[in-house]
Amino acid sequence: MKASWVHQILGQLLPQRFPQVRALVWFDEKNTNGNDYSLLQDQGPLSRDAFRTEINAPYYASSSYGNLEASPIPPPDGAATAQPPAVAAPTLSAPAVSTPDRSNLLQDPSFEQAGDDGGWSSAWVVPSWMMSVVQRTNATAATGSYSMSHSSRAGESYGVYQAAPVVGGATYQVSAALRVDDALQFGNAVLELQSLNGFGGVMETKPIATWQAATDGWTTIGGTVRVASRAEMARVQVRVTSLRGTFYLDDFSLTRSE
């Protein structure tokens, strides 16, 4: 039980849900105010192995802690190397409240990374029944060799999306490259940003751009939206209604703007 918590905290929650955390203090202490925090001392080898496995990931600063044998955890000066301790704060003089991360929060935004099956990157969620309609293609690309194509005559309605952690109440810039070769008949397509709560529930949906008519080659669509004040994740979604036409998307971006 405790081992699975350790895996979850170090392996998933910190890297994925709280990526702005720069340092972690691990209380491996017994009976602090009546609470036993000694996960590694008294909960058996599984917890220690879980800690050792997760802290050895490239996400964390490297050190000898990845081969931790002793318990309680020895101080970092025992490492006797120039490397930083296991979960060291970066060597920045900046205070804890520093400049927000302005990098693109989306994985495989340009569809250049092949997925596990050689097709889609697992970053993008495409309904399985849409696999023949929504495809990773090298027929055209705004940058690189690949883009995401949507093409049908059958009038399907569906959504394709990717979620990323966000700071509640913050403002984000969303953009993508769009090329409509075959104008959408009857229906349309929307790029939108959904705010999600901690349970993955949709709190609100804000449209970024809508398209229907053919474009002259590749063009850029985008906009700025504020996510819900209590949002923990945001979902960049392409929502298509009654697809009869062909369009391509590439170079998605979700960046914090303030």
Which residues make up the interface to Ca ion (CB under 5 A)?
Answer: 110-111, 141, 144, 146, 250
CB 105 within 8 A of CB 165: yes
Minimum Å gap between C-beta 251 and Ca ion is 6
Minimum Å gap between C-beta 177 and Ca ion is 8
List of E strands, the chain: 134-137, 147-165, 171-182, 188-196, 202-211, 219-226, 233-256
Residue showing tokens 């994740």: 233
Torsion of CA 108, 112, 118, 120, to 10 degrees: 40
Minimum Å gap between C-beta 79 and Ca ion is 42
* Residue whose CB is less far from Ca ion, 68 or 180: 180
Would you call 234 helix, strand, or coil by DSSP? strand
Minimum Å gap between C-beta 181 and Ca ion is 16
Which amino acid, 225? V
* Residue whose CB is less far from Ca ion, 47 or 110: 110
Q: What are phi and psi of 253, to 5 degrees?
A: -145, 135
* Residue whose CB is less far from Ca ion, 142 or 163: 142
Percentages of the chain per state (helix, strand, coil), in multiples of 5? 15, 35, 50
* Residue whose CB is less far from Ca ion, 175 or 195: 175
Minimum Å gap between C-beta 187 and Ca ion is 25
Query: Which residues, at least 6 apart from 89, have a Cβ–Cβ distance to it below 8 Å?
Result: 22, 23
Q: Alpha carbon 78 to chain centroid distance?
A: 35
* Residue whose CB is less far from Ca ion, 65 or 111: 111
Minimum Å gap between C-beta 258 and Ca ion is 28
Token pair of 247, please? 């369009």
* Residue whose CB is less far from Ca ion, 94 or 139: 139
